[in-house]
Amino acid sequence: MLPEPDDRGAQLLATLKTGEWLDAQVFPPISWAVPGLIPEGFGLFTGPPKAGKSWCSLAIGLAVAAGGKALGSIDVGDPRPVLLLALEDGDRRLQGRCRHLLDDGALPSMLTYQTSTPSGDVIPLIRAWLAKNGHLDPLIILDTLGRVMPPALPGEGAYARDYRIGAALKNLTDAHPGSCLLVVHHVRKATGDDWMDSTSGTNGLNGAADWTVNLSRQRNEDVGILRVTGRDVPEGEYAMRCSDGRWELDGEDLDHASQKASEVRTTAGIGDKSTEVLEYVVRSATPVTPKQVADALQLPDARRYMARLAESGRLRKVGYGTYTGVPPVPVSQLPTEVGQRDTWDTGTQTTNEPIASLVDWQANRNKDH
């Protein structure tokens, strides 16, 4: 006969929930600071120094505090409270940047900021601010984490330290569903094949975060790529452009910016003629032949270009003498099912669509057209 659980065991068993209970729950829809990109919860905004993270995060904060559009074209809804911890700025610089981004318009009254906070005060400050504003789906921007990163505890490894800090930050938003904490953080110089591996420090921060956004661009270039992955946001890459400090989507919405990012990645390393052929085929609603391409682009040797693009995986031969492109799945057609959302105390799932599924999507789109 099995022994009865002791008092502590009985208490723990009483905390368990059933599938029936979970099935009966009705959870509110997820809240977004920037719809389709930045959901509620704790997330990292990474990128190399001087890439424009501070400008971009500041513009997002101003858009949320004022209401209207973020990144040029994404409607963020009505004004909401924003706490900006601009720890690499002073009052004068922050005022100048805000006025520049707002075209000398008035700064939004829903914006609250601080430019200097001791490491030990960050968590208490954010917690106190959320106690007053957490019910309004607010946004907190911490720029940057490196300014207030506490040291490891005695005997604590780097991963454990990073995860402890990430968990402490996540606990803040978990206590106030609908709130969003965007933490600006640098990346390492040495990177691997996965851009997530570039986050400065260990993967402890990525592991604790609900989502990660990354902004990358070549030095002195005015275009870049914004990447996002997380538990409550569709994974994607979006083309961005910057003009005088103002970061905007390169496209009228996320779908178009995603298509643009795919084109930039797909055409990297090929010549102008090949790029022209590739763009023509990808944008066609139905598979095309070399003769169609030759006639449209005045390119007699179109067949040779298309064969080479197919060999490199940029085009796919779908029948005798017909080719089609393999565009990305639009953001609007990605899965949208999502989960729910005191001091420095004690895996992001990603998806990579296989080529076959993208081809199936292209075939279905051609049928629809």
pLDDT digits (tens, 9 = 90+) for 138-185: 999 999 999 999 889 999 998 899 999 999 999 999 999 999 999 999
Q: Which residue has the higher pLDDT, 40 or 272?
A: 40
Local structure of 6: helix, strand or coil: coil
240 has pLDDT over 80: yes
Q: Tens digits of per-residue pLDDT, 103-138?
A: 999 999 999 999 999 999 999 999 999 999 999 999
Q: Which residues contact 260 (CB under 8 A, 6 or more apart)?
A: 238, 239, 250, 251
User: For 26-35, 263-272, 284-293, which range has the lowest pLDDT when averaged over its residues?
Assistant: 263-272
Residue 130 phi, psi dihedral angles, 5° rounding: -65, -30
Residue 366 has a pLDDT of 38
Q: Which residues contact 301 (CB under 8 A, 6 or more apart)?
A: 294
Q: Tens digits of per-residue pLDDT, 214-226?
A: 998 877 788 899 9
Distances (CA, A) of 71 to 16, 181, 249, 286: 43, 18, 6, 33
Dihedral sign for Cα atoms in the order 159, 165, 167, 173? negative
- Alpha-carbon span 290 to 308, nearest angstrom: 12
Residue 186 has a pLDDT of 82
Closest by Cα among 30, 338, 41 to 172: 41
- Amino acid residing at 32: W
- Amino acid residing at 347: G
- Amino acid residing at 175: A
Residue 279 has a pLDDT of 83
Q: Tens digits of per-residue pLDDT, 276-317?
A: 898 899 888 889 999 999 999 999 899 998 988 888 888 888
- The token duo for 230 is 């997380």
- Alpha-carbon span 348 to 367, nearest angstrom: 35
Residue 194 phi, psi dihedral angles, 5° rounding: -95, 120
> 234 falls in which pLDDT band (50, 70, 90)?
confident
The whole-model pTM stands at: 0.74
> What's the mean pLDDT when you consider all of the chain?
84
Residue 191 has a pLDDT of 52
352 has pLDDT over 80: no
* H helices present in 67-157, as ranges: 91-101, 122-133
Q: Which residue has the higher pLDDT, 62 or 269?
A: 62
Dihedral sign for Cα atoms in the order 158, 163, 164, 168? positive
Dihedral sign for Cα atoms in the order 197, 200, 203, 205? negative
The DSSP string of 215-240 is EE--TT-SEEEEEEEESSS--EEEEE
Ramachandran region of residue 10, left (φ > 0), alpha (ψ -120 to 50) or beta? alpha
Distances (CA, A) of 198 to 65, 133, 262: 30, 33, 21
Asked if 64 and 76 touch (Cβ cutoff 8 Å), the reply is: yes
Q: Which residue has the higher pLDDT, 2 or 59?
A: 59
